[in-house]
Amino acid sequence: MSAGLIVIDVQLDFCPGGALAVADGDSVVAPINAMMGAFDTVVLTQDWHPDGHSSFASQHAGKAPLEMIEMPYGPQVLWPDHCVQGSAGAEFHPALATDPAHLVVRKGFRPQIDSYSAFFENDQTTPTGLEGYLRTRGVETLVLVGLATDFCVNFSALDAARLGFDVSVDLAACRGIDLDGSMEAAKTGMVQAGVKLLNG
Ligand code: VGL
Ligand code: ZN
């Protein structure tokens, strides 16, 4: 039995000054760095979109960021262009300790499908491979931290719980977007799915 820390999307575009800035997003860096040493396995995720990704409002005539559209796989929020592969905004926050990470999972790189979760893309069936990585290393307990609480952390936590991991989200090391009550909805949904919310 071993424990894994999953650090979700601590990238410049989700920090103050970034393209999809999460309020106070950079404040997660120090607590996350301090936690890493306590885990057997540390995984970082990196939102990694091609230029012109279908989740960008800029690709849909007449649509503005934060409006919804219907994709073949279901409803999708449209975002400002963010975390474009190779751009400065896609880089990890420079103060995030990346040396202790065992694996970096990139997600959202298929043009026609978004990927909030570290485990499955938004069709909820295309796997990233993270489940197999964790299982073959004997990881059963997961702590999730990072950005944004109500999107990528939330979807990752729900998938991890569904897959049978023992999942906690440490809210002291997360910050959210909060779109139309999405923070409260995410917290309620996670609790219902058996995810433990720490420091909430
Ligand atoms: C995220 C919206 C779009 C996240 C990523 O990391 O929560 N949110 N892409
Ligand atoms: Zn994204």
CA-only gyration radius of the chain, Å: 16
Q: Which residues have CB less than 5 Å away from ligand 2 (the ion)?
A: 47, 108
Which of 49, 14, 48 has the alpha carbon at shortest distance from 29? 14
Count CB atoms within 10 A of the CB of residue 1: 8
Q: Give the pLDDT score at 182.
A: 97
- Residue with CA nearest ligand 1 atom 2: 151
Helix (H) or strand (E) holding 135: helix 130-136
Task: Choose one of 20, 93, 119, 159 to mutate for the ligand 1 pocket test, by most ligand atoms within 8 angstroms of C-beta.
Answer: 20
22 lines ligand 1 (CB under 6 A): no
Q: Give the pLDDT score at 72.
A: 95
Output DSSP code: residue 164: T
Q: Give the pLDDT score at 200.
A: 87
Which of 82, 80, 59 has the alpha carbon at shortest distance from 13? 82
Which are the catalytic amino acids?
A: 9, 107, 152
Cα–Cα distance list, 56 to 159, 162, 184, 194 (Å): 24, 28, 25, 32
28-56 pLDDT, tens digit each: 999 999 999 999 999 999 999 999 999 99
Atom of ligand 1 nearest to the CA of 146: 6
DSSP string for residues in 13-48? GGSTTSTTPPTTGGGGHHHHHHHGGG-SEEEEEEE-
Q: Give the pLDDT score at 14.
A: 98
Which of 187, 172, 199 has the alpha carbon at shortest distance from 30? 172
Low-confidence ranges of the chain (pLDDT < 50): none
* φ, ψ at 11 (rounded to 5°): -120, 155
Cα–Cα distance list, 149 to 47, 52, 165, 200 (Å): 14, 25, 19, 12
126: three-class secondary structure by DSSP: coil
Which of 46, 187, 25, 40 has the alpha carbon at shortest distance from 118? 46
